[in-house]
Structure 1
Amino acid sequence: MAQQGYGEANGKVILIGEHAVTFGEPAIAIPFTTGRVRALIESLNVNESSYIKSEVYDGELTYAPEHLKSVITRFINEYHIQTPIKVSIDTNLPPSRGLGSSAAMAVAFVRASFDYLNKPLSDEMLIEEANWAERIAHGKPSGIDTQTIVSNKPVWFQNGVVTTLKPLDLNGYMVVIDTGIRGSTKQAVEDVHHLCKADSSYLSYVEHIGKLVHEARDSIEHHNFEQLASVFDLCQENLRTLTVSHEKIEQLLTISKAQGAIAGKLTGGGRGGSMIVLASTIDVAEKIAQSAQSLGAHHTWIEYLGG
């Protein structure tokens, strides 16, 4: 019988604080439980070649993209895996959308690898191993994605320090929308820094986002969904001024509000990527998702924020 190991992980969403966090302001990230990655490792016959089956690559390990090949080869070498293996990765998280897909893949694979070895896995070891894989994908990850995904709780992130917050308990829904436009977080972050360097008055918008993150935390602690909504709209105004919104995001915000959304904003790097919209009821959330898809959104997910 083939040896097997299985692991899974959900994604993450930056609730508020994107871009400002790169200036030392805080940010809040939350688990994205409807977006998932599942990883399965199976032993093969000795005369077969190690193999990866995924949406981004389906073929022998030898010819795999570097970020996949490095992580799996390290596992084989580190733990002296003698037999060839097949690694299957299944996900509904699109890449480069700010939803933590690479961190979720790393966490799922590490969980699968330790399950394959039948070894215990602490959260500390999981974070360490997953961050190694994240460095292959991103160079210098902040750590916020991995920490949020492993803890499966909201986190407060500032200047490299991560603090776990209480689970959300808000009477409302969040619609996550993949605009279908691939954003470049690296370019957007660089542009905002150049903008602020060229004209220091733009720093006031960065600082205002930082204040809004504190207000968002207060909204969460007092279970005030309406206050969080007003914070969202103010944050989006600041992000728009910092040039990281996109006409598709604005178009989707307009149609979402016409369907009854109470607020919305981009999430992550912006200029495409993903956005989050708040709705008071599941009916409104479903209408928002349908209207977004009719406008060309690639994916939509609905999350209840009541825990």
Structure 2
Amino acid sequence: MKRRVGTGAAPGKVILFGEHAVVYGRPAIAAALGTGLGATVEADATGPVLRIPAWGRGGQQVRLESAGGSFESISRAFAVALTQVGLISAEARQVAVTVDGGIPPGVGLGSSAAFSVAVLRALFDYAGHPASPQTVLAAAMEMERVFHGTPSGLDHTIVTHGGCARFQRGQAPTFESTFESLPVGRPLTLVVSWSPRELTTRGVVARLRERRERYPLPFERLFDAIGEVTREGQVALSNGDLEQLGLLFDHNHGLLSALGVSTLANEQLVSLSRRGGAYGAKLTGAGGGGAVLALMPEERCSSLVSTFEREGFKAFATTIEATP
């Protein structure tokens, strides 16, 4: 008898413009990466079991009833995924899920969204329930709430649909978010580097919300400025204007620093990127440590990656392709 198996995959992502301001109704632009996570589901009488070799947990069988510590949120999100797919009974949950791939966790590259979407796609495949992108998107949102509390919706939207897109979160009274695929005028060569996070995404977002409540006017002005940079970035992206995109990366990073979400490590990565010949550089994602994005001339990428590695950081080069 053929062994029952389900598979699913999802890319990582980078935010090119607009992080944090997107939570407060301004637009953001994000792009899917060429690397991501894959998930495989098989029947297992001892399940539900979750294994994540990609994150150094391949030898640890994580069970819903016993997971704790740093794995607690992953376990809770896994439980949400099983429920969203309709695997409710103890018998239906006798599964083992293995997740592997090239996205490091917790640095701002959409690891939780890629985990959510890849696992959901694999579970739907295993259960024999074809799932539309809208179904996957709604279920992934429930998982993202476990990880981040009040997610903007951007990460799992771009991870589900792929490509490069403009996202704007819905506001009262309809709260209907918009997602618009964007043209990319020429390939973008990027070097992604990262440092350990000092705060989780949930922690960074909560601290920023507290500061905004205390000083609403200056923070709203910063969000407005980020929104304007994002709109200008959309034009430069369509035109393939790398120098303008780099300048706008730098502007966006300065505004994120003013919001208080950058760290000394983020600033060091940005500085190394600029000294290494970047058109521009900025943190990507929530900040509080984590990833920095450098827009590079292609011939300078390998040198910059080597520089980061000599300084004790991890980095890789990737490309966002131009649209046909």
User: Shared fold by TM > 0.5?
Assistant: yes
Q: CA deviation at 1:300?
A: 2.9
Mean CA deviation greater in 203-212 or 270-279: 203-212
> Aligned pair 1:256/2:266, yes or no?
no
CA–CA distance in structure 2, aligned partners of residues 292 and 177 of structure 1: 7
Structure 2 CA distance for partners of 1:187 and 1:111, relative to 1, 3 Å: closer
CA–CA distance in structure 1, aligned partners of residues 257 and 92 of structure 2: 53
Aligned residues of 1:42 and 1:85 also touching (Cα < 8 A): yes
Structure 2 CA distance for partners of 1:83 and 1:11, relative to 1, 3 Å: closer
How many residues align structurally? 303
Instruction: Provide the residue aligned with 1:175 in structure 2.
Output: 191
> Aligned pair 1:231/2:234, yes or no?
no
Unaligned runs of 5+ in 2: 171-176
TM-score (norm 1): 0.88
For 1:215-258, what per-residue CA distance to the aligned partner results, in whole angstroms no more than 9, with x for missing partners? Answer: 00111122212211111111112222222222112212222222
Instruction: Provide the residue aligned with 1:217 in structure 2.
Output: 234
Structure 2 CA distance for partners of 1:163 and 1:72, relative to 1, 3 Å: closer
Instruction: Provide the residue aligned with 1:298 in structure 2.
Output: 314
For 1:120-153, what per-residue CA distance to the aligned partner results, in whole angstroms no more than 9, with x for missing partners? Answer: 2211111122222222323332221111111112
For 1:181-218, what per-residue CA distance to the aligned partner results, in whole angstroms no more than 9, with x for missing partners? Answer: 34333343344444453373454333211110110011
CA–CA distance in structure 1, aligned partners of residues 275 and 143 of structure 2: 42
For 1:19-56, what per-residue CA distance to the aligned partner results, in whole angstroms no more than 9, with x for missing partners? Answer: 2223322111111222x111101123x5x444222136
CA–CA distance in structure 1, aligned partners of residues 109 and 264 of structure 2: 20
Instruction: Provide the residue aligned with 2:80 in structure 1.
Output: 71
TM-score (norm 2): 0.84
Q: CA deviation at 1:296?
A: 2.1
Aligned residues of 2:87 and 2:93 also touching (Cα < 8 A): no
Mean CA deviation greater in 191-200 or 236-245: 191-200
Structure 2 CA distance for partners of 1:301 and 1:180, relative to 1, 3 Å: farther
Aligned AA (1:286): S
Instruction: Provide the residue aligned with 1:94 in structure 2.
Output: 104
Instruction: Provide the residue aligned with 1:51 in structure 2.
Output: 49
CA–CA distance in structure 1, aligned partners of residues 136 and 209 of structure 2: 33
Alignment of 1:96-111 (within 5 A): 96-111=106-121
- Secondary structure of 1:77's match? coil
> Aligned pair 1:207/2:216, yes or no?
no
Instruction: Provide the residue aligned with 2:13 in structure 1.
Output: 12
Instruction: Provide the residue aligned with 1:134 in structure 2.
Output: 144
Instruction: Provide the residue aligned with 1:163 in structure 2.
Output: 179
Aligned AA (1:71): V
CA–CA distance in structure 2, aligned partners of residues 12 and 255 of structure 1: 22
Structure 2 CA distance for partners of 1:132 and 1:188, relative to 1, 3 Å: closer
Instruction: Provide the residue aligned with 2:259 in structure 1.
Output: 242
Instruction: Provide the residue aligned with 1:278 in structure 2.
Output: 295
CA–CA distance in structure 2, aligned partners of residues 91 and 121 of structure 1: 22
Q: CA deviation at 1:71?
A: 3.2
Structure 2 CA distance for partners of 1:201 and 1:89, relative to 1, 3 Å: closer
Instruction: Provide the residue aligned with 2:3 in structure 1.
Output: 2
Aligned residues of 2:191 and 2:296 also touching (Cα < 8 A): yes
Aligned residues of 2:81 and 2:139 also touching (Cα < 8 A): no
Aligned residues of 1:93 and 1:99 also touching (Cα < 8 A): yes
- Secondary structure of 1:116's match? helix
CA–CA distance in structure 2, aligned partners of residues 71 and 238 of structure 1: 36
CA–CA distance in structure 2, aligned partners of residues 9 and 56 of structure 1: 19
CA–CA distance in structure 1, aligned partners of residues 321 and 265 of structure 2: 25
Mean CA deviation greater in 67-76 or 240-249: 67-76
- Secondary structure of 1:63's match? coil
